[in-house]
């Protein structure tokens, strides 16, 4: 059984169909990359998985259980699925440490003292040991984004979603964030990421999906999708993206 399964997911904003029947299978420990032009619907797919957007039709299965049933309590699902955004979205009025501790304390009822050793260890692992007590505006973009990743990981999610998490970073900071993803992959985290980093997708993804107009036009292992795309649309997109 796959970890995450989207079946014919349809999402509309008004009369605009942004996800037009998305089918997607993500196995345990897999890294799946969504690529496609801006506006193709990558962010929306991720937001739907995390129940930040209700879907019009189709189903989303987590461990085989439909989490998209209307009326289901979204908190428990969101606590199992972490998401990291392009714009970091750290809480500016809290230190990095408090950003990370907030959800485990409120949602899981853990105390600061209980959490501290484990979270300190995470900050250390992500090269942020001396940044725990800084506020977000005292951190570089790359540091902020790593704190955002730690924040999501602190809930010990089963699946992580990444929405173009390096797009807002200066080029020299992109590497430090992508390294973190490789580390997570090694630890066996199940991940879905929207990305423009084709080099990274080719190197790290188990599967790449090309989206256009709210549909997955083509999917496959990176070697196949990048080197032998079957669809014209994919070829055209790659020709532009890899230029």
Partner 1 sequence: MTRNRTAGPTRRELFETQQRWRSIRIAATSTVLVVVALIVLVPLAPGWAKVQQSFFNGEVLVKTFPKLLEAFKINVMIFAWSAPAIAVLGLLIALARDTKSPALFPLRIFGAAFTDIFRGVPVILTVYLIGFGIPGLGLTRPWNSPYIWGSLALILTYSAYVAEIFRSGIDSVHHSQRAAALSLGLTEGQVMRDVVLPQAVRNVVPSQMNMLIALQKDVSLLSFIGPVEIFRQAGVFKSLLANFTPYVGAAIIFLIVTIPATRYADHLMAKQMRERR
Ligand X SMILES: Nc1ncnc2c1ncn2[C@@H]1O[C@H](COP(=O)(O)OP(=O)(O)O)[C@@H](O)[C@H]1O
Binding site for ligand X (CB under 6 A): 13, 18, 36, 38-44, 194
CA distances from 23 to 18, 39, 171, 196 (A): 14, 18, 33, 21
Picking from 158, 187, 197, the residue whose alpha carbon sits closest to that of residue 26 is 158
Interacting partner of 139 out of partner 1, ligand X, Mg ion, none (Cβ under 5 to 8 A depending on kind): none
The torsion defined by the Cα of 18, 19, 21 and 22, in degrees rounded to 10, comes to 160
118 binds partner 1 (CB under 8 A): no
Radius of gyration of the chain (CA): 18
83 binds partner 1 (CB under 8 A): yes
Write out the binding residues for Mg ion, residues 31-50 only, by CB under 5 A.
43
Interacting partner of 39 out of Mg ion, partner 1, ligand X, none (Cβ under 5 to 8 A depending on kind): ligand X
> What's the closest the beta carbon of residue 66 comes to ligand X, in angstroms?
22
Interacting partner of 79 out of ligand X, Mg ion, partner 1, none (Cβ under 5 to 8 A depending on kind): partner 1
The SS3 of residue 216 is strand
Write out the binding residues for partner 1, residues 8-27 only, by CB under 8 A.
none
- Quick one: tokens of 65? 């259980």
Binding residue for partner 1 (CB under 8 A) from 14, 69, 71, 93?
93
Maximum Cα–Cα distance for the chain, whole Å?
56
103 binds partner 1 (CB under 8 A): yes
Write out the binding residues for partner 1, residues 148-167 only, by CB under 8 A.
148, 151-152, 155
Q: What are residue 20's phi and psi, to 5 degrees?
A: -115, 60
115 binds partner 1 (CB under 8 A): no
- Nearer to partner 1 (CB atom), residue 78 or residue 207: 78
Binding residue for partner 1 (CB under 8 A) from 3, 11, 42, 78?
78
234 binds Mg ion (CB under 5 A): no
CA distances from 218 to 57, 75, 188, 193, 235 (A): 21, 33, 25, 16, 10
Residue 4 contacts residue 49 (beta carbons within 8 Å) = yes
User: How long a stretch of residues is the chain?
Assistant: 243
- Quick one: tokens of 210? 């090309």
Interacting residue ranges for Mg ion, rule: CB under 5 A: 43
Interacting residue ranges for partner 1, rule: CB under 8 A: 47, 50, 52, 74-76, 78-79, 82-83, 85, 87, 89-93, 102-103, 106-107, 148, 151-152, 155
């Amino acid at each position: 059984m796959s970890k995450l399964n989207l079946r014919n997911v349809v999402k509309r904003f008004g009369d605009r169909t942004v996800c037009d029947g998305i089918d997607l299978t993500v196995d345990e420990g897999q890294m799946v990359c969504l690529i496609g032009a801006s506006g193709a619907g990558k962010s929306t797919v991720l937001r739907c998985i995390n129940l930040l957007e209700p879907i019009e039709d189709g189903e989303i299965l987590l461990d085989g259980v439909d989490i998209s049933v209307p009326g289901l309590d979204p908190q428990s699902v969101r606590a199992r699925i972490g998401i990291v955004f392009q714009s970091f979205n750290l809480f500016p009025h809290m230190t990095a440490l408090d950003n990370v501790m907030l959800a485990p304390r409120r949602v899981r009822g853990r105390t600061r003292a209980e959490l501290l050793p484990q979270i300190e260890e995470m900050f250390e692992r992500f090269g942020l040991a001396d940044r725990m007590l800084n506020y977000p505006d005292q951190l570089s973009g790359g540091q902020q984004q790593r704190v955002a990743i730690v924040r999501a990981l602190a809930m010990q999610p089963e699946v992580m979603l990444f929405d173009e998490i390096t797009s807002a970073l200066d080029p020299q900071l992109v590497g430090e964030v992508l390294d973190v993803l490789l580390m997570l992959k090694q630890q066996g985290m199940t991940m879905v990421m929207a990305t423009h980093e084709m080099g990274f997708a080719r190197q790290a993804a188990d599967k790449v999906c090309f989206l256009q107009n709210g549909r997955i036009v083509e999917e496959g292992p990176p070697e196949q999708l990048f080197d032998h795309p079957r669809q014209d649309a994919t070829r055209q997109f790659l020709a532009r993206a890899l230029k």
